[in-house]
Structure 1
Amino acid sequence: MKLVSWNVQWGRDASGAVDLARTVREAQRLADFDVLCLQEITRGFRALPGGPGDDQFAELEALLPGYTVVEAIGADLPALSRAQDPQQNPLPRLRRQFGNALATRLPVAQVFRHALPWPAESSAPSMQRVALEAVLDAPGGALRVLVTHLEFYSLRQRLAQVDELRRLQQEAADHAAHPAPAENDVGPFAPTARPVGAIVCGDFNSAWGSEAYTRMLEPLAGSPAFIDAWSVLHPGATPPPTAGVYDTAQWSDGPLTCDFVFVTENLGAGLRSCEIDAATQASDHQPIVLEID
């Protein structure tokens, strides 16, 4: 199974131009992916730099025929009034939504949308963050894939969000150990059994080796712990930067390694490759390509 994880900043490249179709083509150049995990996909946010389209989730569906596209919205805000809109777009106006998308050509069993903790922090801006989880029928068996994007400005919020990702893994492992049956074949009370194995990927806004990064790797009671796929496959090496490589205006403090693919350690033997592409300039972040059996 091949997976690409990428913060695409609504299709905005390092020079500021927005073209989501180009972003998808770049992902396809990197890998014939089975799963594409994207962060910073928008709906109704034409006022953002570069002017993204009205509904990028619908754009992804059109750009990826044969793939199922699922979404999870973090920030969900009222539409701008005509007076607020710098492009003076006509009505109807969409709510401004900002979140994650997962596109896959594998069968999707269940989808979960987890609002991450958002403790009050008055000293800096922040937004509601979300983790999108899909249970996929992969070639080697079912597994869970989660794509997320943690808070940028607040360490306190990032740590709370890492703790929640870890708790969600423990909850899934508990469901795997103690499954409940479906009420019937057609209702919403589906079987609760979930695979223990998970991939958690995205922009963690946390430097490699930072407090939030190392907390993600700590042991988990009742569940396999997470491991960093890149570090496991490149023992003793320091990962290359994943943000601010080409966009030095937004990343004036210099490049940072803050995008990761974590897998539960029971999947570790199946890791085949995990590479950070350093060439593309189609975002302010660099994509990660994972291959796992």
Structure 2
Amino acid sequence: MKLLSWNVQWGRDAQGRVDLRRTIDEARRLADFDILCMQEITRGFGVLPGGPGPDQFEEIARALPGFAVFDAVGADLSSLDGSSRRRQFGNAIATRLPVAQVIRHSLPWPADAAAPSMQRVALEAIVATEHGQLRILVTHLEFYSLKQRLAQVDELRRLQQEAAGHAAHPAPAENATGPFAATSRPVSAIVCGDFNSEYGSQAYRAFIAPLAQAPGFVDAWTTLHPGATPPPTAGIYDTAQWSTGPLTCDFVFVTDDLRARLRSCEIEGATQASDHQPIIVELD
């Protein structure tokens, strides 16, 4: 199973040109992925630099025939022109694997008067693989506020403990047709995205700390490159937005029980199709 995670900044490349279809074509050139996890996908947000299209989730579906596309909106704002169309900003998962269940998790947003911020979200899809079900979560944590990032890290860890509880103590479905489906969830998970937390930072260390009564998370890249420091994932080519220089803030984490199944994890450093670099991970 191959997964590609990428903050695509609504299809805006390092030179500021927006073309989401081109970005997806670049992702397909880089990997024959089974799952594509994207951050900064928009709907009704044409006022953003470069003018993204009216519904980028639909654009993804058109660009990836044979894939199911799921969305999770964090910021959901009124229009600027008085119309009924919303301005929405969030994450997407596109997959050609069977999907049993999709869950949208609103992440904590504690008040922080010193920092601009927006509502953040984690999108979870439970996919079927040859080795059984697997939870895939894509997220994008707050950029300006450390207080909010730490709260969001705590919530992602709590969600892992919650899933472990459902795995250990599943409830049966009420019936075959209603919404009260069986509550069993796999404990094994991949959590990926733009954490806006530098490698080795407080939030990074908090996320990979051991968990009680659930397998915790390991960094897929450092697990497969022991003793090495991961290369930067943002600000390599777009020096206007990242005037302080490049940094490593995008990660793919897997639960510890998946460690032995990790086959490869690479940060693609050459593409300029976004201000971030994609990460490609493969599991046996």
Does TM, normalized by the shorter one, top 0.5? yes
1:221 aligns with 2:212: yes
- Segments of 4+ in structure 1 off by > 3 A? none
Map Cα deviations across residues 213-265 of structure 1 (whole Å, 9 max, x no partner): 00011111110010000000000000000000000000000001000000000
Number of the residue aligned with 1:246: 237
Structure 1 letter corresponding to 2:272: Q
The answer on whether the counterparts of 1:4 and 1:287 sit within 8 Å (CA) in structure 2 is yes
The answer on whether the counterparts of 1:179 and 1:191 sit within 8 Å (CA) in structure 2 is yes
Percent of matched pairs sharing the same residue: 74
1:70 aligns with 2:70: yes
1:6 aligns with 2:6: yes
The counterpart of 1:125, out of the listed 87, 110, 116, is 116
Map Cα deviations across residues 94-125 of structure 1 (whole Å, 9 max, x no partner): 20000000000000000000000000000110
SS of the residue 1:167 aligns to: helix
The answer on whether the counterparts of 1:46 and 1:54 sit within 8 Å (CA) in structure 2 is yes
Q: In structure 1, how many angstroms separate the alpha carbons of the residues matched to 2:125 and 2:24?
A: 20
1:101 aligns with 2:92: yes
Q: In structure 1, how many angstroms separate the alpha carbons of the residues matched to 2:85 and 2:6?
A: 25
Q: In structure 2, how many angstroms separate the alpha carbons of the residues matched to 1:213 and 1:264?
A: 15
1:112 aligns with 2:112: no
Unaligned ranges ≥5, structure 2: none
Structure 1 letter corresponding to 2:51: G
Map Cα deviations across residues 23-42 of structure 1 (whole Å, 9 max, x no partner): 00110011100000000000
Q: In structure 2, how many angstroms separate the alpha carbons of the residues matched to 1:132 and 1:178?
A: 23
Map Cα deviations across residues 41-74 of structure 1 (whole Å, 9 max, x no partner): 0000000000000000000010000000000000
CA positional deviation for 1:93: 5.4
CA positional deviation for 1:80: 1.6
Q: How does 1:171-182 map to 2 (within 5 A)?
A: 171-182=162-173
Q: In structure 1, how many angstroms separate the alpha carbons of the residues matched to 2:5 and 2:205?
A: 20
Q: In structure 2, how many angstroms separate the alpha carbons of the residues matched to 1:138 and 1:144?
A: 10
The counterpart of 2:198, out of the listed 183, 207, 231, is 207
Q: How does 1:1-293 map to 2 (within 5 A)?
A: 1-81=1-81, 94-293=85-284
The answer on whether the counterparts of 1:44 and 1:93 sit within 8 Å (CA) in structure 2 is no
Q: In structure 2, how many angstroms separate the alpha carbons of the residues matched to 1:268 and 1:222?
A: 18
CA positional deviation for 1:140: 1.7
Two-structure CA RMSD over aligned residues (Å): 0.8
- Number of residues paired by the alignment? 284
SS of the residue 2:100 aligns to: strand
Unaligned ranges ≥5, structure 1: 83-91
The answer on whether the counterparts of 1:76 and 1:96 sit within 8 Å (CA) in structure 2 is yes
Q: In structure 2, how many angstroms separate the alpha carbons of the residues matched to 1:104 and 1:72?
A: 15
Q: In structure 1, how many angstroms separate the alpha carbons of the residues matched to 2:138 and 2:221?
A: 16
The answer on whether the counterparts of 1:54 and 1:94 sit within 8 Å (CA) in structure 2 is no
